[in-house]
Structure 1
Amino acid sequence: MGTGRRGLIAAAVTVVCALTVLAAPGTAFAAPAPTPEPAPTASADRPAPATNQELEAVRKRLEDLYHDAAVATDAHNAAEEKATRQSEELAALAKKIAAGRAELADLKARMGSAAAAQYRTGGLPPEAQLALSDDPGQFLDGTGRILQGERAAKHLLGRTTRTQQDLEQYAEDASAQWKKLEASRKAKAAARQKIKKRIAQAKSLEKQLEKEEKERLALLERQAAQKAQTAWLGTGVLDGATAGASEQGEKAVRFAAAQQGKPYVWGAEGPDSFDCSGLTSRAWASAGRPIPRTSQAQWAGLPRVDAEDMRPGDLIIYFDDASHVGMYIGNGSMVHAPRPGRTVTVAGAGSMPILGVVRPDA
């Protein structure tokens, strides 16, 4: 094994061993796969293959890297949703400000006309106009019109004041909304950088492996998933489960299952690629039931059900931080978009640590 490649794999072993030391006493870890046939002796032209222990460490390190990327993907998607919503709110405020300015200009013009009319009458008080009038009856009629004019002027002044206050509030709201938008954009950019960094680290680690080592690594991954699935089913969680899907649930399952083979791309919502929550949110949207975009928002915002009561179409949320989601399709299986480098596929519903189950159409 080349020095650089051995160094990266050794680093992965060091990370996993450190995590093992820091774990709580009694914490169990997945056992490595059965020991393979003795590896050929290293030579100058052919380095020795990675040991089974090293590959298990690589598997766990890759799992950690892709998990970090999944968490960052959720953060990216949430920031993108916020930015979109904030942009729409900012545009609405801009329209209000434009309309308010037009109204204020009209009110000021009308007030100017009223002031000019008052100037033309000389602006004399009613008592003086009565003393100078030759026709008291005509004066009284004029007085009524003056009072109406005064009330109209007061109304114009009140509307002008309120419009000015509204404009000031709109401007203040727009400034606050702009700051929120900028914060969301920065959060989105930071998440994007973290995603790219973690995926690059994972790919760099995988690139160091020879073909035979990659095959053994894939076998270790399948064995770990099968072990977790067997343990989950062994709890009897699905014993007697007979609940069928709702009409909308069936539509969502059909949509999700039809996406098998399409690649995982972080931030993608179809139609050609998906991330985990992009798949589930689009599937339920196709069934006429829009749901939150991210796995964390789906966990936080959708009704929860016991795993024993799962039915096809329900969403299974994985890991303590709700960083992954799959759709239950029945018979202990789920369909999901696993991670970068993989495609939408069917897997055991218990092949990863389950946080809980939510039902979009509860």
Structure 2
Amino acid sequence: MPALASHRKPRSRTRTNSPAVGLTTAAIASVSLLSAQSATADPKPSIDEVQKKVDDLYRQAGSATQEYNRAKESTAKQRRTVDRILDDVAKRTDSLNESRRALGSYAAAQYRTGAVTPTAALLFADSPQAYFEQSQLMDRLTEQQRSTITEFEAEQAAAAKQRAQATKSLESLTASQQSLRTSKQTVQTKLAEARELLSQLTAEEKARLAELERKREEEARRKAEARAKAEAEAEAERQRQEREQQEQSGSGTGAGSDTGSGTGTGTGTAGGAYAAKAEKVLSFARAQIGKPYVWGATGPSSFDCSGLTQAAWKAAGVDLPRTTWDQVKAGQSVATADLLPGDLVFFYDDISHVGIYIGDGKMIHAPKPGANVREESIYYMPIYGSIRPA
């Protein structure tokens, strides 16, 4: 049978590897990829946003610094407690060993024979009292020996209690040390984030940021000057009223002799004792101007904010707590309008910063990492509240 011819239509062949077509496809893919990346990439923050972010990171670092200060103080306290308890345990153990030797000699004096030595039997017994009762020796013991047994059991119970206390204190110390490490890491992380954010700015952006900071400082200075003017006017009015009262009472000479010469409204109302302490506080604080801020530092070569306020008031004989959170509760609450030199002003809702009021709307404070102790307007940061120590 003759072969049948194929009825299939020959397959047409089309070239798909044309250089022109390949280049076009690659270009389209590249454009699509760039478009997708542009659509998903975060837009670069504005300078205002950078400033707010950096400020917030410094505030968070300040709050973490207070956590660190609290944990450090707690760790030191727990370590002292543990050391004291362990010393007591060691002394009590020596006393127990001495009592145990005495009891062993008592038992040995009563029995000279037996498979188990009297001392071993005494040590293995639940209590010396039980051992001697079971051995029918209580009637044969002297009063001194009975007293030794009673004292031994009391020492034994006290030693067990102290060992339990030591264990609990060691657990607290471990927790404080962990909190200290965590707080330290948080501070370092926040500061590193702030530095990284600033390092990404161009020279022009840094100049713009500096201009924003200058305007912010100028606004705070303007408010402080207005406050200073109001304080001066109020003080002048107070002195005028005093002179009038003295003239009316016929004691015009010596006017103002008992009012003091401090700065700020109501200077005389806080009393001479407070004014004297405040002068020591301000003298100390002014002597620290120019020293660097270092988080966790309490002097003498560097300070953080609460370390400075604590040291300044200590110079006046007043012991303040270590953290801003505790310092804000360490005195009489004072309205911003009634501030006197020496008062402590706290900032931010989380109470993470504090400064010492010096009058005229200004304070001395340790601002933040990279800055030195300095005078500045209290209006530079949002005020939380104020107290008057002592």
TM-score bin (small chain) = 0.7 to 0.9
**Matches of residues 254-333 of structure 1 in structure 2 within 5 Å?**
254-333=283-362
The structure-2 alpha-carbon separation of the partners of 1:252 and 1:10, relative to structure 1 and needing over 3 Å to count, comes to farther
- Aligned 8 A contact 1:243 1:310 in 2: no
**Matches of residues 89-104 of structure 1 in structure 2 within 5 Å?**
89-104=81-96
Aligned partner letter, 1:315: L
Pairing partner for 2:69 from 77, 82, 88: 77
Task: Name the CA distance, whole Å, in 1 between partners of 2:373 and 2:175.
Answer: 33
Task: Name the CA distance, whole Å, in 1 between partners of 2:154 and 2:230.
Answer: 63
Residue 33 of structure 2: aligned partner: none
Pairing partner for 2:157 from 165, 172, 177: 165
What is the SS of the residue equivalent to 1:300?
A: coil
Task: Name the CA distance, whole Å, in 2 between partners of 1:8 and 1:90.
Answer: 54
Structure 2 stretches lacking a partner, 5+ long? 1-39, 113-137, 236-264, 269-273
What is the SS of the residue equivalent to 1:289?
A: coil
Q: What TM-score, normalized by structure 1, do the two folds share?
A: 0.73
Q: CA deviation at 1:147?
A: 7.9
Superposed CA deviations along residues 250-307 of structure 1, whole A, max 9, x for unmatched, are 1111111111111111111122211111111111122222211111111134332333
Aligned partner letter, 2:94: A
Residue 243 (str. 1) matches residue 267 (str. 2): yes
Residue 227 (str. 1) matches residue 219 (str. 2): yes
Residue 200 (str. 1) matches residue 192 (str. 2): yes
Task: Name the CA distance, whole Å, in 2 between partners of 1:117 and 1:149.
Answer: 10
- Aligned 8 A contact 1:313 1:359 in 2: yes
Task: Name the CA distance, whole Å, in 2 between partners of 1:155 and 1:301.
Answer: 51
- Aligned 8 A contact 2:100 2:152 in 1: yes
What is the SS of the residue equivalent to 1:158?
A: helix
Q: What TM-score, normalized by structure 2, do the two folds share?
A: 0.68
Residue 98 of structure 2: aligned partner: 106
Task: Name the CA distance, whole Å, in 2 between partners of 1:316 and 1:337.
Answer: 13
- Aligned 8 A contact 1:314 1:358 in 2: yes
Structure 1 stretches lacking a partner, 5+ long? 1-6, 14-53, 121-145
Q: CA deviation at 1:351?
A: 2.1
What is the SS of the residue equivalent to 1:350?
A: helix
Residue 352 (str. 1) matches residue 390 (str. 2): no
What is the SS of the residue equivalent to 1:326?
A: strand
Residue 13 of structure 2: aligned partner: none
What is the SS of the residue equivalent to 1:200?
A: helix
The structure-2 alpha-carbon separation of the partners of 1:321 and 1:211, relative to structure 1 and needing over 3 Å to count, comes to same
Superposed CA deviations along residues 117-140 of structure 1, whole A, max 9, x for unmatched, are 4448xxxxxxxxxxxxxxxxxxxx
Pairing partner for 2:48 from 56, 61, 70: 56
Task: Name the CA distance, whole Å, in 2 between partners of 1:309 and 1:168.
Answer: 56
- Aligned 8 A contact 1:237 1:308 in 2: no
- Aligned 8 A contact 2:324 2:353 in 1: yes
Q: CA deviation at 1:8?
A: 11
Task: Name the CA distance, whole Å, in 1 between partners of 2:153 and 2:230.
Answer: 66
Aligned partner letter, 2:334: V
- Aligned 8 A contact 2:224 2:377 in 1: no
Q: CA deviation at 1:223?
A: 2.4
Q: CA deviation at 1:330?
A: 1.2
The structure-2 alpha-carbon separation of the partners of 1:251 and 1:221, relative to structure 1 and needing over 3 Å to count, comes to same
Task: Name the CA distance, whole Å, in 2 between partners of 1:305 and 1:118.
Answer: 77
Aligned partner letter, 2:374: T
Task: Name the CA distance, whole Å, in 1 between partners of 2:62 and 2:54.
Answer: 12
The structure-2 alpha-carbon separation of the partners of 1:165 and 1:209, relative to structure 1 and needing over 3 Å to count, comes to same
What is the SS of the residue equivalent to 1:89?
A: helix
- Aligned 8 A contact 1:266 1:275 in 2: yes
- Aligned 8 A contact 2:69 2:323 in 1: yes
Aligned partner letter, 1:253: L
Worse-superposed segment, 234-243 or 314-323: 234-243
Task: Name the CA distance, whole Å, in 1 between partners of 2:387 and 2:146.
Answer: 59
Q: CA deviation at 1:231?
A: 5.8
What is the SS of the residue equivalent to 1:341?
A: coil
Q: CA deviation at 1:172?
A: 0.9
Pairing partner for 1:183 from 164, 175, 180: 175
- Aligned 8 A contact 1:306 1:357 in 2: yes
Superposed CA deviations along residues 60-80 of structure 1, whole A, max 9, x for unmatched, are 111111011001000011100
Task: Name the CA distance, whole Å, in 1 between partners of 2:313 and 2:203.
Answer: 39
The structure-2 alpha-carbon separation of the partners of 1:310 and 1:323, relative to structure 1 and needing over 3 Å to count, comes to same
Q: Once superposed, what is the RMSD of the aligned Cα atoms?
A: 2.7
